[in-house]
Structure 1
Amino acid sequence: MSLNGPAFSSTRILVWAQLACAPDLDLARDEVARLRKLGLNVSFEVSVETDRPWSDLAEVLQSFDPDIFHYIGHGHRGRLIALDYDSDTGRSEREITPAELTHAFRKRSARLRGVVLNGCDTAHWAPHFIPDDGWVVGATRNVGDDPGTLFADMFYTYIEAGASAKDAFEDAVEYVAQADNGIRPPIVRWVMDPEPTVFLRQVFDRQSFRLPVRAEGSLYDLASALDGAHDALSTRTLATRTQIEDQSVVYCREPLDRELVRVLKKRLTLIRADLRLLIREFPDVVRFIDGWMSVQPDEWPYLLFLADRIDASRSALLSVVNATLPPDQHFPPIRLSSSE
């Protein structure tokens, strides 16, 4: 079987289940059981490591030499929550950094082609650790226990039936969406050379094009995201803001539609102008975490007016993007801050 790489007699899957760090994931054990069952198929070899310290991963990767690494557990802002050795307590929970993920998965292994990080908020730094000629699957935001487990179940069901990793991913996401009233789960697949429509969706599939201004954690992060989207459209590349050894960018080799890029960049410029106006008029809202609480009652209507302008202009931009995407991949409009 081939997973976008050399064909081997069987597909090896290493399951790294951090159940002790995720006692609230009620379906995690079902996901482990499903993957163990997959190992009964002669076309697959499945090794399950439960609550193994992260420091052991390099040795396990080298000895088992998997085609796919599958993580089950929690994530936080692109980091994984996992157990590791501690000189005082023996084992303790900690966050696995983007640099550590890169070190683990960019070893130029002869077999490793796929990385599945089945947890919330795990895909932020994926461009750094995409295996050679391979792919990374993860979530851009929080993903519920039910859709996450269902995605994994269907992804491997399609793989077992002989689908490519790309088709299995798309079919599994579509299956989860149909089971959840048409809501597409925030699960993405990163490759080094995505198709233009996939690339375009990944440019805007981030929190800064989801939340109203009033719910944004940092307006400086929003400004940075707008700049990043503009740069991505100009260069056809996606790069993260974290500097890591062997840093990678995702490059879309096929050209993007020039008129579409022109329209999107113009709309980004308008959004940035509206954001600069809000920052100038209400600097404390940007400077302090509780800045919204310090706004005087008579200033609220103007603040919400400016925030709504940014929300509406981002929704207008997403409607342009949606016109290029399949209906099941459309972005929802952003709620107005005044409705919060």
Structure 2
Amino acid sequence: MSPSPTTMDNFIRTKLQPSGSCIICSDPFSASHQPVALSCHHIFGHACIKNWLHNGRGATNNCPICRAEIYTPTDGGAFTSASIWTALCAAPPDRLHDFLSSLWPRVAALFADDPTGAFTTRDLLSHAVLPALLSMHNADAAGPFADAHSLVASTWNSLGRPNSASGLAIPLVRLARLMAQTSSILPKWITTVPRTSLLFWRANACLGTSSSEISWAPLAEAAGLSNPRYFSFLHLYTVLLSQHIVHARPTHTGPSHNSIIERCCTKIGGEWVGKPADGFKESVVGVYEELRRHQLEEKRISLRGHEEEKGVVTGLWAMAGWRREEGRKPAVELRKKVSGGWSD
């Protein structure tokens, strides 16, 4: 049945409005600003949609309005989130240090507005991650950090700057969150040295790219020493325990069992997803007590993220597991392994 003239006129008047300007730049179309229609029928200025694609290096492969795929990549997806993340993780240590050196002060500045440190994803992206990526982009327009800035910025802006992370933004937001949650434990000078930057990057990178939250589960798995995948996270956590001892108020008898758990599983990691299991807590107590013995009784320096500390970290958690599972004092050879690997 054909629509009546009145219905047809109403349809033409309300639904068939001409597109006179570009939705991206809001400028009217002209001979120098010609309109083009995508396969989803949304219309943009030719230069604007071309710039949209180029700024994302081909990874912004979606209509700015409906997010429909614009084209099918034929280059194997060279500028996907996964490929850029792989390139970032393979970046030279000095470039990773440059990025974290730019990120640390921006994370610290957030505490001026919210001393509790309860920063939203939007806070971390807009005030820390993207400005730090932009500084790297400005220093090197052809490197992976420039690609990361283009992709994260264009994707987040196209989605309306939501309070959530997607794609490449996920591990970068989690890195900033990890830095914010541990900044009160570490002395400022430690955050300025390259080895700390590399340890933070590796600890965050080993957690994957699927969630911007930090969970206790990988740490508990790493503490069992059966899977090296999350060892960098365990190393960082052990450094945090060691630094906490440095700044804790000394006592003659040492902290109680419950006090150690509160220090190690609430003051550190209180915002992390999940809860540490009882077995892990017992191991933490063992590691903390052994660290305290070395640092206070034997006058050893605290752990500071050196590569050479890996043997110490392994020995500490092995001793804690031995004591928890066997119910006896650590084996002499394990104590020797820890003592022998300690930095002087």
- Flag the structure with more relative contact order, 1 or 2, with Cα contacts below 8 A and sequence separation at least 6: 1
| Higher share of residues assigned helix | 2
Regarding TM over 0.5, the answer is: no
In which range does the TM-score fall when normalised by the shorter chain? 0.3 to 0.5
Which TM-score applies when normalising by structure 1? 0.32
| Higher share of residues assigned strand | 1
